[in-house]
Amino acid sequence: MTVSPFRLLTAMAMFALLPPTGMACVQEPPAAQAVPAIAATVAAPAITGGGHLNLTFDLTPAADLLALFRRHSVAPDEVARLLARPEVRALIAQTARFDPGATAEAFGSSLQRAVQVQARTDGPDPFAFRRVRGHTADIEHLYDLLSSRAAALQRDIAERLQPDLPAGLDLNVRAVFVLGGTSDGWAQPGQVLYLALQSFDGDYDGLVTLMAHEVYHVVQYSVMPMTGSAAADARQRNAENLMIATLMEGTASFVGDPTRADGGGTYLEWYRGRYRRNLERIHEDFALFDSLMFRAAHDGEADYKELYSLGFSGTWGSPLYFVGYRMSQVIARYGGRNKLASYLAQPSGSFFADYMAACDAHPEDSQCVKFDAPTTRTLLQVRDRTVTAVSNRARLFLL
């Protein structure tokens, strides 16, 4: 079964005008500088208050790659050693999510071309190594700050996260700094997050803001009872996953909100612009959610990767991030900001039900954007049928 093409095209027309947003704006290449001496791993004090969070920085993956760019050469055995590192494999896997050409072989060949000063620069570059080559000075600037301001960075992130941490949290988080790829930052199940330093144009405040977003994802993966549906029925599985992703990205976008950050440079300004553009078209973002949820809940042959790409990839401006962000704004206004931390312990359906209840109770609020009637029914039905991973059973999904 397919979604109404008119509704889908209406929603997508707004997104087709936007450029991909997988990385920050490109500037003219600055002159190369010497790489400052840095500690391989920097540990910062733990957060106090609502929970215990210890953040450790691992700078070695980026440092090792940057040394090759300074030397302007890389030997085959060095490429082989890089490819054996779990951090590099994670970078390749993340980039390949959006570009099937991002293979281990392409990593080696494009890196070799990029580090050589006289090499042609018009070949395939799936890992954006040419951007690394052109932003060496920015990268080195961030190295200086990361190595000298570890405690301050911990406090900066603590200030953003503290209201949103669950009581009793005890978590060690490792932040790995890499070079290359088209994602500025990402997290995955476990206690590790990644940040690609070439993406930030040397913007420390932008790095801090995005790190808060990614650290919160690590908290989510560590605390939430379900970060991926285990439903047997494909329709319920896809619908649940769409809801879970909207909750996770929306609340993380609220926690790491660049519009509440002061200062910053070109990256933070770009990041604020991403919020501004989406909030200007928030009704279209919600319309896209309606269309994707209809497809997910009614078509058992729908490809969830395609649905996810439309809703969450930078190619389309990540519209469903901002559906979840707007929901978080409304819930925090009427339920208090600490209400958001409660969704770390609940199925995603509670997040949607609370938002819809808040909007029903405050019809005068212009920030409330309502889901259409079929979506509302689906969200409530999925909520009622969802079970946590602790008590997972086969379930029926009949809409």
Q: Which amino acid is at 297?
A: A
Hunting for tokens 């309502």 — which residue is that? 370
Backbone angles phi, psi at 171, to 5 degrees: -145, 135
Whole-Å CA distances, 210 to 8, 24, 326 = 30, 12, 18
* Residue 194, beta-bridge partner list: 176, 186
Residue 121 has a pLDDT of 65
Extract the tokens encoding 43.
């540990």
Structure tokens at 292: 């994707």
In contact, 245 and 229? CB cutoff 8 Å: no
Across 364-390, b (16+ Cβ under 10 Å) vs e yields eeeebbebbeebbebbebbbebbeeee
pLDDT at 13: 37
Minimal CA–CA distance to 265: which of 354, 334, 202? 202
**Is the separation of the CB atoms in 275 and 356 below 8 Å?**
no
Beta bridge partner(s), residue 47: 53
DSSP, collapsed to helix, strand or coil, labels residue 57 as strand
Cα–Cα separations (whole angstroms), residue 303 to 158, 237, 379: 38, 11, 19
Distance, CA of 103 to CA of 80 (rounded, Å)? 13
Angle, alpha carbons 203-165-228 (nearest 5°): 90
Residue 397 has a pLDDT of 32
CB 218 within 8 A of CB 56: no
In this prediction, residue 35 carries a pLDDT of 36
β-strand partners of 169? 51
Which pLDDT score is estimated for 337? 87
Identify the pLDDT of residue 23.
Answer: 32
Q: Rounded to a whole number, what is the distance in angstroms from the first to the last CA of the chain?
A: 13
**3-state class (DSSP) for residue 53:** strand
Backbone angles phi, psi at 51, to 5 degrees: -160, 180
- Answering whether pTM is above 0.75, one says yes
Residues 6+ apart with CB under 8 A from 321: 249, 250, 253, 278, 312
Strand partners, 43: 56
Residue 54's pLDDT is what? Answer: 84
CB 275 within 8 A of CB 282: no
* pLDDT (tens place) for every residue of the chain, 399 residues total: 434 433 343 343 333 333 333 333 222 222 333 333 333 344 444 444 456 788 889 999 999 999 999 999 999 999 999 999 999 999 999 999 889 999 999 999 999 999 987 656 678 899 999 999 999 999 999 988 988 888 888 877 877 787 888 888 888 999 999 999 999 999 988 999 999 999 999 999 999 999 999 999 999 999 998 899 989 999 999 999 999 999 999 999 999 999 998 889 999 999 999 999 999 999 999 999 999 999 999 999 999 999 999 999 888 889 999 999 999 999 999 999 889 999 999 889 999 999 999 999 999 999 999 999 999 999 988 887 764 433 443 333 333
